[in-house]
Chains A and B, each alone.
Chain A
Amino acid sequence: MMPSSSERPYSARARARRILALIRKEVRQIFRDPSSILIAFVLPLILLFLFGYGVSLDTTRTRIGVAIERSTPSARGLLAAFQASPYFEVDVATDRRELEQPLTSGQLRGIIVIPASFDADLWKRSATPAVQVIVDGSDPNTAALVQGYAQGVVGVWTRARAVEAGRVRSPSGSEERFWFNPELSSRFFLVPGSIAIVMALVGTLLTSLVVAREWERGTMEAMMATPVTAIELLLGKIIPYFVLGLASMSLCALVAVWLFDVPFRGSVLALYVISAAFLLPALGQGLLISAATKNQFLASQLALLSAFLPTFLLSGFLFEISSMPRVIQWITNLVPGRWLIPSLQTVFVAGDIWPLFLRDVGAMSLFGVVFLALAVRTTRKRVA
């Protein structure tokens, strides 16, 4: 309770001091509030473990049925090839009808029928013998994979047989070869992708929650009656959560490389540049949501719907964008995560490809500017 000092309240120094005070407050709150730690560090680890261990888009050991209509040596040979495949667990029958019931009940994911005419077809020297593949279309993802792998097994077996018989010197048709991910392990792109989800969580969900809480508890109103300006208030939120977002990304990256053996072929600098660019729109969106709703429950729902789910579904993380309907493909351009995923996967699995990174960083920064500007505008509209 002393007379005021001579320093002007809106000099750069005074502003910096206030922002620093707000950051200090925020950091204390983050460390004292278990829910921040939970969202920033525990939840990301759970997600990472889930995608690293639990979810796999590879079909390993899928249960299928093989029906051999006539037991000839070649048919038995093909059966053995199926049994030897690491992708299948095989039930054998002599009639496809025996396998139909387990297929409809979901015990089997597909049926391979080796027809009675199999041997005859084989000697006709036609490119591939007629083998029927029936799949359970209720899960299209698995169905497509079963079909693909089954045809692969048949193709490899046919060619091997032909080479053995000396009739063909080199196998005809194409030989597939995968660059960057030779084992075709889905973990290699799921784990980097889940880092994007984690940053959406910290950037948008956590930020919208903590700001909405300030509105609910009336502290935002009290702050606004002090010399603090709306921009200072927002910077006091953006800076700590930006750092927190990068920290939780770093934790995830370390776990990805050391625990899940995901390769890291790019540079650390590129990883941080890409992540920082994504955090701008994520934070902007969180601040905008909380200023517009001023309610924690609503803010969390909106954050999940507008940031978490699109990053999950429309970013190319789980579902290939090029196989989506054209309209949806166009909509994905409006999802900041869609610009993060390719760069993030590239920096881990392929290496530094700066033209790609710069395009994506540019797009994300643009979203960031728009969201942050809207957030400032909404917050400035004061308490009313």
Chain B
Amino acid sequence: MSKTLVRLHAVTKRFGDAPPALDAVSGSVSAGAITGLVGPDGAGKTTLIRLMAGLVTAEHGSLDVLGFNPATQSASIHTAIGYMPQRFGLYEDLTVEENLTLYADLRALPTAQRADVFEELLAFTDLRSFKTRPAGKLSGGMKQKLGLACALIRKPRLLLLDEPTVGVDPISRRELWRMVRGLRDEGVGVVWSTAYLDEAEACDRVLLMNAGKLLFDGPPRELTRRTEGRVFRMVDIEGRRRPALAATLALPEVIDGVVQGRAIRVVARDAQHVPSVPREAGPHARLLPASPRFEDSFIDILGGGPGGESKLAEGVRAIPGRGENVIEARALTKRFGDFTAASEISFNVSRGEIFGLLGPNGAGKSTTFRMLCGLLKPTSGEGRVAGIDLRRDTAGARGRLGYMAQKFSLYGDLSARQNLRFFAGVYGLSGARKRQQIEQMIDVFALSAHLDMASRELPLGFKQRLALACAVMHEPEALFLDEPTSGVDPITRREFWCHINGLVEKGVAAVVTTHFMEEAEYCDRISLIYRGRSIALGSPDELKARAVTKDRPEPTMEDAFVALVEAYDRTQVAA
């Protein structure tokens, strides 16, 4: 029986008049285990971590951290924990070594031990060759590792990690997991908050939260078993998958469903009623039982996804000419000085198709993207949107496309309504049509409650909704979405994809960048971008097939990604 490090009993925390950020939460954290703090955006994960770190105090309930009361003995807690906040807590002007030295001084690491500890941590995090580089000039993955190293200067008994892998590529993510598992095996108690469900599944225990309430406390396998016997894969679908998905989600006996390569994953509301196969899936479609995943049960426990009907797409007129090329990239190349950010990238996207650009941070996804939106001039090669050459008529092309930037790019000081009005104006809408489109966006994205709030204050999910609304208001033919669901919880993510699917069915061509591996499965075709090059292009099923080995007959998208990247690295070394 492992030791309990944190005990929470009926803890409640409120900020102002808002509904409680934490509502009577009880649970515990053990030594030698990774406890996942899982839940949608705004569930209360960060508040709970800050509470354990003694940074905020609870209003009601009792809390015990390492035998101390955080409200009165936070100083004793601070000497015994390691804490990595969401933005890693690094000084960007200071070098890797100086950051480590600062934390060593603050945590009173004896000088005699420093050389050894630094050496060990730098080896552990693979940062030895970057000792003198300023933290601000490290990649996301490296910053995260340095943040972890700083939190580990004095081996803590309790390590608190607040969404440590947001914005970090899959390879760095795997390394972080390897490091944290090592710490767990040495007896450290780890709290890992995350919105990624595959990470939750890898934890020893999870505390699942929603809207400040604890919904589940136990091993993830136990939660996964919740949907045992209710999960199916719909295979042999004829024709397009997206109308079949929408029809499946409309069935009363179905609680959740997503596209998975050529198949559709279906979760039944209860075990008694096996879902029927909708007509839209074709005569040969059938359901095969599948083993449940954590995500299936997660959506189930939260009461199901948003359904399959996109109100947004309903109001959009259909664009004829399915299969016509809308977006064309021909040998697009961008060099910044002697650095090649994108090299000879080519692909076509046709009406009614979703094309994915998949790759780690800094691989060149956003550069490619911005060249196609006319935001960046290619060094060579050409791009066309709706038949318009981007070099000739950038403004004309931009009027035909909708762009949602990776970072929140709306005016933070303007209210949601003012942003909608502004973007409607920018895209040349006026009069009755402008009013009508704005009203529709408010209705479709359920923005009415937040209309007059400054957009920077909006919860992340609503920010993303507003950004999408501003990008599609003028009914573009081509849609460019740069990491549209980064950091968004699975339910909001489903809602987003429901809208994207709906628009694409109406004839829009969409390009999506993502580092979410599962999300790549929603795409028709994917280009894998790595070190500025497209190293693989094909449908999700084709790419996965290329990673099949004897030990791994059914690789996930992430397995395929890692295998293809490693194979590419080997050819480079050989060459």
| Chain A residues close to B by CB (< 8 Å) | 1-2, 4-5, 7, 9-10, 14, 17-18, 20-22, 24-25, 28-29, 32-33, 217-219, 221-229, 382-384
Q: Is the CB of B15 within 8 A of A384?
A: yes
Question: Does B113 contact A25, Cβ atoms closer than 8 Å?
Answer: no
Beta-carbon contact of B90 and A219 below 8 Å? yes
Are the CB atoms of B117 and A21 closer together than 8 Å? no
Q: Does B91 contact A (CB under 8 A)?
A: yes
Give Cα distance in the complex from A18 to B150, angstroms. Answer: 15
Q: A2-B117, A10-B75, A221-B50 are in contact. List 6 more A-B contacts (CB 8 A).
A: A28-B94, A32-B93, A218-B88, A225-B81, A225-B85, A227-B108
Distance in angstroms from B73 CB to nearest chain A CB is 12
Are A224's CB and B55's CB within 8 A? yes
Cβ contact within 8 Å between B108 and A222: no
Known: A5-B110, A227-B106, A228-B106. A217 touches B117 (CB 8 A): no
B residues less than 8 Å from A32 (CB atoms) = 93-94, 134
Kindly name the residue among A9, A222, A227 whose own CB sees the greatest number of chain B CB atoms within 10 A: A222
CB distance from B123 to the nearest CB of A (A): 12
Residue of B nearest to A7 (CB): B108
CB pair A221–B89 under 8 Å, yes or no, is yes
* Cross-chain contact of B89 among A18, A21, A29, A219 (Cβ < 8 A): A219
Q: Does B285 contact A (CB under 8 A)?
A: no
Q: How far is the CA of A68 from the CA of B238 in the complex (A)?
A: 105
Interface: B385 (CB within 8 A): no
Can you spell out 29 A-B residue pairs with CB atoms less than 8 angstroms apart? A1-B117, A2-B110, A5-B108, A9-B108, A14-B108, A18-B106, A18-B108, A20-B105, A21-B106, A22-B106, A25-B94, A25-B98, A28-B98, A29-B93, A218-B88, A222-B83, A222-B84, A222-B88, A224-B78, A225-B53, A225-B54, A225-B78, A225-B85, A226-B103, A226-B106, A226-B107, A227-B75, A227-B108, A383-B56
Determine whether the beta carbon of B78 is less than 8 Å from that of A219: no
Interface size class of B (residues with CB under 8 A): 35 or more
Q: Which of A1, A218, A227 contacts B152 (CB 8 A)?
A: A1
Closest Cβ of chain B: how far from A219's Cβ, in Å?
5
Contact B55 A383 (CB under 8 A): yes
A2, B120: Cα distance in complex, Å: 11
CB distance from B131 to the nearest CB of A (A): 15
Q: Which of B55, B106, B109 contacts A221 (CB 8 A)?
A: B55
Closest chain A CB from B378 CB (angstroms): 32
B575 to A: closest C-beta gap in Å: 39
Question: Do A222 and B89 have beta carbons less than 8 Å apart?
Answer: yes
Complex interface residues of chain B between 420 and 448 (CB less than 8 A to chain A): none
CB distance from A37 to the nearest CB of B (A): 12
Residue from A5, A21, A33, A222 within 8 A of B105 (CB atoms):
A21
Residue of B nearest to A222 (CB): B89
- Most chain A CB within 10 A, of B54, B83, B106, B154, is at B106
Assess the A225–B88 pair: CB atoms within 8 A: no
Decide if B79 is an interface residue (CB 8 Å cutoff). yes
* B108 cross-chain contacts in A, Cβ below 8 A: 5, 7, 9, 14, 17-18, 227
Could you say which residues of chain A place their CB within 8 Å of the CB of B152?
Answer: 1
Point out the residue from A218, A223, A224, A382 that lies within 8 Å of B87, measured CB to CB.
Answer: A218
Query: Is B302 engaged at the interface, CB distance under 8 Å to the other chain?
Result: no
**B105 touching A17, Cβ below 8 Å:** yes
CB distance from A378 to the nearest CB of B (A): 15
Give every chain A residue within 8 A of B450 (Cβ-Cβ).
Answer: none
Structural contact, A227 and B85, CB atoms closer than 8 A: no
**CB-based nearest B residue for A31:** B93
Give the distance to chain A from B496, nearest Cβ to Cβ, in Å: 27
Among the listed A5, A10, A28, which residue makes an inter-chain contact with B93, where contact means beta carbons less than 8 Å apart? A28
B92 at the interface (CB under 8 A from A): yes
1/0 per residue, CB under 8 A from A, across B47-91: the answer is 000100111110000000000000000010011010111111111
Q: Is the CB of A218 within 8 A of B85?
A: yes
- Check if A18 sits within 8 Å of B55, measured CB to CB: no
Are B154 and A223 within 8 A (Cβ)? Answer: no
Q: Which of B87, B108, B121 has the most CB of A within 10 A?
A: B108
CA A10 – CA B73 in complex, angstroms?
Answer: 13
For the complex, give the distance between the alpha carbons of A229 and B79 in Å.
11
Rounded to whole angstroms, the CA-CA distance of A4 and B154 in the bound complex is: 7
Q: For residue B75, which residues in chain A have a CB less than 8 angstroms away from its CB? A: 9-10, 227, 229
